[in-house]
Structure formats: structure tokens, C-alpha cells
A and B are shown apart, each in its own frame.
Chain A
Amino acid sequence: MFRYYLRLAWLSIRRNPILTALMVAAIGVGIGACTTTLTVYHLMARNPIPEKSDTLYRVLVDSWDPDRPYYDGDQGAAPPFMMTHQDAIALMRSEIPTHQAAMYRTAFVVQSDNPEIAPDTYSARATYRGFFDMFGLDFIYGDSWDEAADEDGELVVVINRALNEDLFDGEDPVGRELKLSGTVFRVAGVVENWNPIPRFHDLNGKFRDSAALMVPFRAAVNLESEVNGSISCWKPEDINSFQDFLNSECVWIKFWAQLDNPEQHAAFMDFLNSYTQEQKALGRFPRPMDNRLIDVMNWLEFRKVVSEDNVVLAGLSFLFLMVCLLNTVGLLLAKFIGGASIAGIRRALGASRGALFRQHIVEISVIGLAGGLLGLGLAALGLKAVRGWFEDFEKVTQLDWSMVGIALGLALIASLAAGLYPTWRVCRIAPARYLKTQ
């Protein structure tokens, strides 16, 4: 019977093409608006590393100004989101976390040994070898650098697949040389492109690509590679050299640790507290102790990766969908009541109310799916427009398959919701009423 109902739906749509087009348009516009805002919301709010998000922690220690907290927003006072060089180096000595990595963003002018490729500037991450295992980066060639490279600041580099394609045509470059801002580095490995959305480990440019190359933290510091991220200082500092900067109380280093169980978590927190007490004894950390370990999803929430504007916008788009649906209810009512005489004939010839109900539900579903497809088209245009307005939103304005499914599902549910009352009405008609007047 389903195929029969599909055919009847098609005939009914052909009978009232304008009414049908209006319904498809109403559903399509509503779904388009919803899908546009939901796509942005869904990509902003999603878990960027679901397999590990509850064991990865952003580490915060409060070395800030005794007179005012680093952050004093609607979530109360909080320690600095980054840490000083001396604190990062000290915390890296802990052996408690499964993996840990201090990091900062820098950039290098990259020049390969191929003279045909012009040098270009690439974003880089200065970090520790723990970065790769902690965040689960997959190696295509080679491996991460070893512990000695971290200790000694060896001139080794790990590049991502995209950069490897650009520089080495995707071939195995392990052991080959790469000039980074004039200094020769040896390629240790190639990782798959790793671009978590949002870029939770460095929210400065939260929807942008991750760095194309990674170098040992100490190597970058030794080369005095500039910091391509936030630097915050709470007191005047006499900074005349890079070493002065490293010794200062300015915060600029992000620190992540992997703590796999509550015992590890408690032990590392004890370690942080002990470190803070030590520093207090040395005259640093003048504020009350406020060390924090914040897991990935709480970190994203704390940093308001999804702004309230986005939430409001998503809510408004749903309200708009409701308005579109109310219009659809009216149009469906007009269409179905207009076809009541045919429904009356079918009832007289033996169609049960259930059969009529199913027939109309199939028709509504067809209209809903058509509206959903139109909505997807409109959403694609809407997302393109958002991309045009906000460069940073490139990554959160891509329609993925899950959103296509959600949009079509939403269209189906919305149209069925809109169609229930008109369908109920047409199924309740007294057949005799229409047989004389047809």
C-alpha cells in the first residue's frame, strides 16, 4: 500500500501545485534557517576529542596580581588561562600525568630543499613530545621526537600531511632537512592533518586550522621564536631580551595534561598545590591558591566557545520554524479539506480512517522531505553567506552528513506535526456529506 499512497501523494501534489509549493517553501525556509544556525551551533558545541575529552585537562595555576583576579566574569574569579615560562618548565618535570605538554603558537618561514618551492610562512606549535600521544595524532611516516630532543631542544620537526604534500609531494620525508626561518631542522615524522573543531587546545582562533608543523618547545625558545598568541602581564616588567621575557611573570604558555583516573587527578592536583606553596614561600603566587584542572568540555563551556548569541539565534530560528509550521498547518488544512470529497468517496468505498490517515501521512511526509531538501539548499546558501561575513567561521559552516540527516529528520517531524490536525480532520469527515455534492 505504501507505493499506492506514494502515487496518491504525487497525484494530490499535482492537483494543487501552488498550494503544495507554498507548503514546501514554508517548511523549506523554516528548515533552512534552523539548519543554518544549528550547523554553526552543532559544530561549535561538539566534542572535539570525544574519545579522551574527560581525561584531558587544561592546567591553570594562579600566579596573577594579588589585587585583582585574571578573570572576573559571570563565572566568578579564575586564574590565568595560560602560565609563565618558569611555571610551565617546572610543571613539565612532573611524572604524574600519562602525558603532558606545554605549548605555544609561533610561525616559521618554511623552505624545503626543493628550489622550485618558494618559501612560505606556516603556523607552528612549539610543544613537547607528549602532545602527539596525548591528543592522539596519527603518524603517517616516522614518529615523534624523543625525550632527549625535548630536553636538549633538538632541531627536529613533525609536519602534517598537507604540508608534506606541499613540500615533499606526499613522499616519506623522514630524515630530510627543512629550513625554518633560516635554521635547518630534520623531519622526524609526518602526522595526519589534525584540526579539531573547536581547536580546544588553543582557543585563540578557535575555529581555525591547527599548526602545520610542530617543533620541540625548547628548540623554539632557544631560537627565540616569537609568540603568535596572547601574552598577558599583570605588572610592569623590565623586558629587554627574550630571556627577560622568559623570566617574567607574563603568561603565554598553554598547558595540557592527560590524567586517566581519579587517583592520578588527585595526585597531580596535590603536586600543583605543593608547587604553589613552594612558589609562595619564594614570594610568588600572591593570590589565594586556586589551581584548576578543567577537562575539555568544561574548558569549552568555561571559555564560552558557543556564545550566548549563537544560542539565542538557534532558539529564534526554531521559533521561526514554528511560525512556518503554523502556516503549513493552515495550508494543509485548506488542501485536505478541499480534497474532502475524494476522501469521502474513498471512505464510502471501504477505506478505514486508518487507511486514510496513512495515505495523508505519506503525502505530508513527501511534502516534508521536499521542504527538507529545499531547506538544505537554503542552509547551504545561508552558511555560505555566514562564511562570507565571518572568516573565522569557515570550519563551523560546513554541512556535514549528520546535519543533512538532522535537517531531513527535522523536516519530516515538523511536517508530520503540522499535518496531524489536518489529517485528523479529514479522517473524521462523514463520507455521506460529500457524496451528493461532489
Chain B
Amino acid sequence: MLQMEHVSKVYRTDLVETHALRDFNLHVANGEFVAVSGPSGSGKTTFLNIAGLLETFSGGTYRLDGENVSGLSDDARSRIRNRKIGFIFQSFNLIPDLDVFDNVDVPLRYRGMSGDERKRRIDRALEMVGLGARRKHLPSQLSGGQQQRVAIARALAGEPRLILADEPTGNLDSLMARQVLDILEEINGQGTTIVMVTHDPELARRAHRNVHVLDGAITDFKPYEPDPERADAVALSA
């Protein structure tokens, strides 16, 4: 699903050159649930931004779902983001003026789907996160956990191949964090690949594989060994 080889990212100013990623190598197989951890400033978020095509990289190669995404135009990157990737952010990043239904609708709007198809997907995604009855609520009328579930529904509605989660429980209490993680596991169980950046060791333990990032490079890498019990789901997603 995700193959990064020798990826580097350098931020340059007139005076300073900062290497956010250096010789970054990571392969994530279809259906995998990978937790990426590391201290602040280690390059986790830069990795996630590059993985989500939100930022370009300076060197190396990156293949997403078999497609080399190096050097793609901005429009092409937007299209891939829209069709293949779902994002879950620590701060939820819901649009405050839009109600739950319309927030989940946002990525679908840019796909040119019919209204009926969008409604069907939104209803299903909201049911899955248990917010079917809250579709007309504004984000400000929801708890943090509910807002994160809306964000998950938004990521799910597009039926992405890959979900990138950046500290998805960072702003939640432990009970809500557990609920969110349960949902993520359920999604992964249905075959969606998840890459999650987290500081939380307990969360990281629930992933199939942990990857540690330090100074812009992976320091602890283990190849993926599929769980035989999940084989069906993984095969489906592949």
C-alpha cells in the first residue's frame, strides 16, 4: 500500500537547512495497522504529511497503492488524497459552520458523486461510528469524542484504501480514546490500511506493528507479519 524508499525532506531558509526526514524507508502492506511513534520533532508529522500527499518531499521515491506519486501535479495529488486517503487529525479539523452530515459530505463533494450516493455513504459512515442520530448537530454541540467520531466518519465515507491518523486520541479522555480506537480496529478489520502517529504506548500496542522515528529516520523497523486470523480481510483489501 505504502512504500517509501530513501525519502528525504529538507526545509530550507536563507540561513538554515533542516532535515525533517533523512533516508526514510517504510513499507506498509495492504490491511496493516501501523503505529508510528517518536519524540516531538522527530519527523512523525512530516512523514504523515508526505504520506498523505499534503507535502512534497525532497528526495527518494514514494509509491502509494502501486502508483509512483513523486512529481505528481497538485491536482493529481488532490485527486489521490480525495479518493484513496482518509485523514483523522488530533484536533478533529471539522468545519465549524457545517453540521455533522455536511462535514462528512466534504470529501464526497469533490468526487462528483450523485446526491443519492453521497447520502447513502454518509448515512452508513455515521451509523458505523454511532452518530446516525446527530447528523444535524454542529461540531460545537458535540463532545470531543463525538467530534473525533465525525472525523472518522468523514474519513470512512470516501471508502479510502489508507487512513492516516495523527494522534487521533490526543485530545480525548481514556474512555473516548478507547472507543475511537475500537472503531479504528473495526475499520482495519474490514481491510483498510491504517497508519497512526501516536505518543501513547497503549495505543501503539494495539497496532500490528510499531515503527519508531528518531531524527527523521526509522530506528526500529520490523517487516509485517500478517495475523492469520486477519488474512481474509487483508486479502480482500489487496
Task: List residues of A whose CB falls within 8 A of some B CB.
Answer: 1, 4, 11-12, 14-15, 342, 345-355, 430-432, 435-438
Contacts and interface: CB of A to CB of B under 8 A. Distances in A.
B75 A354 contact: yes
B194 to A, nearest CB: 17
Contact of B45 (A347, A351, A436): A436
A423 B95 CA distance: 19
Interface residues of B, number: 29
A431 B97 contact: no
Between A11, A353, A438, the greatest number of chain B beta carbons within 10 A of the residue's beta carbon is seen for A438
B93 A348 contact: yes
B82 A350 contact: yes
Interface stretch (B106-114, B184-192, B208-216): B106-114
B72 interface: no
B110 A431 contact: no
B163 to A, nearest CB: 13
13 contacts: A11-B97, A345-B93, A346-B95, A348-B54, A350-B83, A350-B111, A351-B110, A352-B78, A431-B54, A435-B54, A435-B91, A435-B93, A438-B93
B107 A350 contact: yes
Contact of A15 (B52, B97, B111): B97
B49 interface: yes
Contacts of A345: 93-95, 106
Interface in B37-56: 45, 49, 52, 54-55
Contacts of A348: 52, 54, 81, 87, 93
A437 B92 CA distance: 11
A430 B106 CA distance: 18
Given A435-B54, A436-B45, A349 B82 contact: yes
Contacts of A349: 81-82, 87, 106-107, 110, 154
Interface in B68-114: 74-75, 78-79, 81-83, 87, 89-91, 93-95, 97-98, 106-107, 109-111
A355 B49 CA distance: 21
In the A-B complex, list the 4 residue pairs whose CB atoms are closest, starting with the nearest: A350-B82, A432-B54, A349-B107, A352-B78
Contacts of A437: 91
Contacts of B54: 347-348, 430-432, 435
Nearest to A346: B106
A26 B111 CA distance: 37
Given A346-B95, A349-B110, A355-B78, 7 more contacts: A349-B82, A349-B87, A350-B110, A350-B158, A352-B79, A432-B54, A436-B90
Contact of B89 (A15, A351, A354, A435): A435
Contact of A352 (B55, B106, B110, B158): B110
B162 to A, nearest CB: 13
A353 B93 contact: no
A132 B54 CA distance: 75
Contacts of B82: 349-351
Contacts of A436: 45, 89-91, 166
A349 B86 CA distance: 8
A14 B79 CA distance: 30
A432 B9 CA distance: 14
Contacts of B154: 349
Contacts of A346: 95, 106, 110
Nearest to A1: B109
A352 B75 CA distance: 6
A254 B90 CA distance: 85
Nearest to B80: A350
A230 to B, nearest CB: 67
B58 to A, nearest CB: 15
Contacts of A351: 78, 82, 110
Contacts of B91: 435-438
A4 B102 CA distance: 11
A353 B111 contact: no
A352 B111 contact: no
Nearest to B74: A353
A185 B236 CA distance: 103
Contacts of A342: 95
A286 to B, nearest CB: 81
A1 B79 CA distance: 16
Contacts of B83: 350
Contact of A350 (B49, B81, B93, B166): B81
Interface in B135-179: 154, 158, 166
Contacts of A352: 74-75, 78-79, 110
Contacts of B111: 350
Contacts of B55: 430, 432
Contacts of B166: 435-436
A435 B46 CA distance: 12
Nearest to B154: A349
